[in-house]
Structure formats: C-alpha cells, structure tokens
Amino acid sequence: MLDIPSRVRVHVETLPAAQNDMGVCDAFEQYAPVGRPGAMNAPHPPKVAGIDSTVPAPAHTVAPPPAAPDTSPSGPSGPHAPRPAGALLQDRLAGWVSDLTTLNELTERLARTNGLDAALKELLRAGAALVGARRGLAVLEPDDGLGPDTTIGLGLARADLGHIETVPRSAMPYGTLLDTAAGLPGGDGEDVRPDLFAEDGLDPRHREVAGRLGYAACYALPLSTEAAGRLGAAVWFYDEPAEPAERRRHLVGLYLRFATEHLARLLDTERTRACMATVYEELLPSRLPRVPGVQLASRHRTGPRGGGDWYDALPLPDAALGLAVGSVTGAGPGAIAAMGRLRASLRAYAVMEGEDPVAVLSDLELLLRLTEPARSATALFAYCEPALRRITMAGAGHCPPLVLGERRTEFVETSVSAPLGMLACWEAPSVEFQVSAGETVLLYTDGLLHRTGDSVDRAFARLHTAAASVPRALRHDPAAVADHVLHTVLPNGLDMTDGAEDVALLAARFE
C-alpha cells in the first residue's frame, strides 16, 4: 500500500455508480443513443437493410462534460459554485482508472483469440466501441509480401465488401495508409474524414459506394509498430458526419498498438503452420497409381503441429501393387522429416523385395535402428495381387486393416507386433488373406482412433460400426467409403485439419 498524504488522498470507491460499475463488457452489451453528430454517430434508422442501427456506447471512456459557468446571483455558494480542487483531481483520476480498465478488458479479450480471422473481428468490435462507430473493415496485408492477405468486415456483408473493393484503392483510407509512408511506424498514423460528401476531391466511385452503403464519414488507423512492421489497416465508418474525440483517438491508438503485436505473433504461427502443411503434402503421394483390378482413394488430415502419419501406394513388378500406411512418433518438423525418409526407404525396399512384406519391414527396422535409434514408428505393408485378389500383409505395431463388403465387415486377424525400432529380431509376423470382388480394404493410422477421445476398444467398435453402415449405393466408390467412415467416426468437426492428431486413410476396392 502506497503511503499517500491525506491532503491528496482520493477515494476512488466514492465515484458515481454509473461510472465506476460499468465495465467495457457491459458497454458491448448495452446499447444507447449517442451524442451529437459532430462527436459521434447520430441515432437514426439504418440506411442499408439488415444493418443494426444501434451503437455500443462505452460511456465510461467519454470525458465528463465541462461544468456550466456560474451565473447565479448567489455566487460561489450557489448550486453552480466551482468544484473544489480535490473533486477535480478525483474526476481526473477516475477517468484514468476507467480508461485503463477499458484497455485491460479489451486486450484480454483480444489475447484470448488464437486465429487471424478471430483476432481481426475482435479488433474491429473493440475499435468500434472505442471510436463510437458500428461498422468497419480490417485489411491484413503484411508489407513483407509473404501474406496471407485478407479483408474482414464488421456490420458489412460480403456484397458490401465487394462494393468497397470497386473503389480505387488510392481513394480509400486504408489504401492511403498501406501504400504511403503515412501507415509506417513514425508516419502520420491516421486518416480522418469527418464529412466525405463535403470533400471537393472525393472520388466519384467512392461517393457512389458511400451513398449506397450509407456512411458519411470514416476514421482509419494503420496496424503497424516498429517491431512488427506494417501489417495492414483498420477503418471504421460513421453513418453521419462525425469524428472521434481526441481522448477516443488516444485509447484506440494504444489498443491497436497491442493488437498489432498480437496479430504479428498469430501471423508467424499461421505462416509456420502453412509451411509445415505444404511440406507434409509434398512428402505424401501427389496422386495414386492406376492399377488394373483395383480402385484407390486416400484421405488425410494434418494436426496443427504437423505429424508423421503417412500412406503410400506404388505399382510393383508382375502387375502387383504395394499399399502402406505408417506413423512416426512425435510431431513437428522433425517428425515430418523422419516420415519422409521412412516412406522413401520403404518404397525402395518394396521395389526390391515387395513380395515378402516381412523382409520389407525387417529392412526398414534395421535402417531405423541404425540411423535414428531414438525414434520409433509403426508401419503396415501389403503386397497385393489384384488378378488373384490375394493380399500378403505384415505389420509392426500398427492397427489391423478392415475389410468391408456385401457379406462381411471385419478386421483382418494379425499377430501383435512391437513398433519399428523396438523389435527384438527385426521381424514382423505376416498374414495372407483373400478378398472377394467388390470388397474394400481400409488401411488407416491410429490418429483416426485417437481423435475420437474414446478408449481403444470403443474406438475400434466405432470404426467397425461406421464401416458396416456405409450405404450400398456408395460401396462401389472407395472415395465415398473413405469419406463416410471418416465423417462417421469423427463427427462434429473432429475430422477437420486442425485436430490434435494426424489421420491417414487408404481405401482399396478390388474388382
């Protein structure tokens, strides 16, 4: 506790309830008419159908109105007497506390966003409350040219954004900030247009679009800092001629400084994720081979950190076909690189001795043990003879494949085996089985089971039920079978690419 002399001690808890109790979250919820058009939006019906005309009013960020001059004959002792110096200091401190509370609540809400789109939408909502607008747009356009570039609107439909994009870029406030030094750190830092239709040099197309969308003023700020550089710009639109007061400009400037740093961190994360996803995609087959007697389809989902799940299909001598799925332990760039090396090695071994899946996995085990002793992996390799509909398969610590057809839906009986890198004698047991015409063999990675969140037994039961429920009309198409199984085992968005676990499926239908 700071020891403040009693002559200047201020009891903030004695502030008026309306100023002290209302937080910024209440300001987003509570709507009230705003002040004069010169200071804020004037309340009036919307000019565009479907746009809410109410405006969030952060009343606790507005400076208190000046005291009326003392004109009463009673002099200083009358109702309009000058306020004591302590009361003025208390009001000033109350304003500072209110502003800090506002910024704290807004930045906390922004910090909880974990995606660029969500962060830009939150930025627009908070900025609209601070400057007293109800519509706006944010343009993300990093000046390093590496992207991603996007435009997010607040209170503007996709068609409205399309109309705005027809305005010459140089005529829009965000264009001025993005294409000139004004939007760089240390530049002018804002573009204020309090009355668009009163401007003599207003672009005709801008005038037409502003009239169509029903805005008469705008206020724009760059999204730039010394550390992050220039990432984009934000613009808020007023329905009537207006501009934010100096205090509001100061608050939104402080908020955007924090928001830009947060966006820069999200941008780095998004770029890293996109780069890893691209590398992962390039390490998987660009297309599946066409082999007589077999139809192939694949599906895969990559987790946010990138993992080591993979699949492969390659034609082999004597009209044979090699099918493989596997998973490398760990996540991130290291796991992705290891997955690429393992898949390339398996392809080489399969071409040399693919008719013996045990030998293929034994060679892969030896390679992994010698070159990456700290890493383990699971793998399954199947040598298929489409003309005979015969499959010879070996697995090392991997999930058993599933056969589904008109008369059966069952897992292939395989012996339990340790993963690659943990085998005692470098040998995985094998199994040979026959499939009927029209049956599909489904190979998958354990990420399909892990994403369900169920125990292993329940996850296998869910997979079996999903395969058995494939409609008869879809069973001739392996791609439709894979989609049905994926969406049935992983409902409610669990099959999306941002899941925690990688998933890979490979479906082979024998004719």
Q: Tens place of pLDDT for every residue, the chain, 511 residues?
A: 334 343 333 333 333 333 333 343 344 333 333 333 333 343 333 333 333 333 343 433 344 444 445 444 445 555 556 667 677 888 778 878 888 888 899 999 999 998 899 999 999 999 999 999 999 999 999 988 888 999 999 999 999 999 999 999 999 999 989 998 888 887 778 899 999 999 988 999 999 999 999 999 999 999 999 988 999 999 999 999 999 999 999 999 999 999 999 999 999 988 888 887 788 788 888 889 999 999 999 998 877 666 788 999 999 999 999 999 999 988 778 888 888 899 999 999 999 988 999 899 988 988 888 888 888 899 999 999 999 999 999 998 899 999 999 889 999 987 767 888 887 665 667 899 999 999 999 999 988 998 888 899 999 999 999 999 999 999 999 999 999 999 999 887 676 766 667 889 999 999 9
pLDDT value at position 81?
60
Assigned CATH for 16-58+88-270: 3.30.450.40
Q: What is the pLDDT of residue 28?
A: 37
Query: End-to-end alpha-carbon separation of the chain, Å?
Result: 82
**pLDDT the model gives residue 49:** 30
pLDDT, tens only, 254-289: 999 999 999 999 999 888 888 877 887 888 888 899
Domain ranges of the chain: 16-58+88-270, 284-510
Q: Is the pTM of this model over 0.85?
A: no
What is residue 429's predicted lDDT score, i.e. its pLDDT?
74
Residue type, 158: R
Tell me which CATH code domain 284-510 carries. 3.60.40.10
| Best CA proximity match to 127, nearest among 244, 46, 215 | 244
pLDDT per position as a tens digit, 51-105? 333 334 343 334 444 444 544 444 555 555 666 767 788 877 887 888 888 889 9
- Give the residue among 212, 216, 176, 174 at the shortest CA–CA distance from 195: 216
Which of 436-463 are b and which e, b meaning 16 or more Cβ less than 10 Å from the residue's Cβ?
A: eeebbbbbbbbbbbbbbeeeeeebbebb
* Residue 171 DSSP SS3: helix
Supply the pLDDT for residue 58: 41
Amino acid letter, residue 368: L
The Cα 177–Cα 492 span in angstroms is 42
Structure tokens at 318: 């004597």
At residue 89, the pLDDT reads 81
Nearest of 158, 114, 157, 165 to residue 141 by alpha carbon: 165
Is residue 12 a contact partner of residue 115, using CB atoms and an 8 Å limit?
Answer: no
CA–CA distances in Å: residue 93 to residues 25, 58, 88, 424: 21, 18, 9, 74
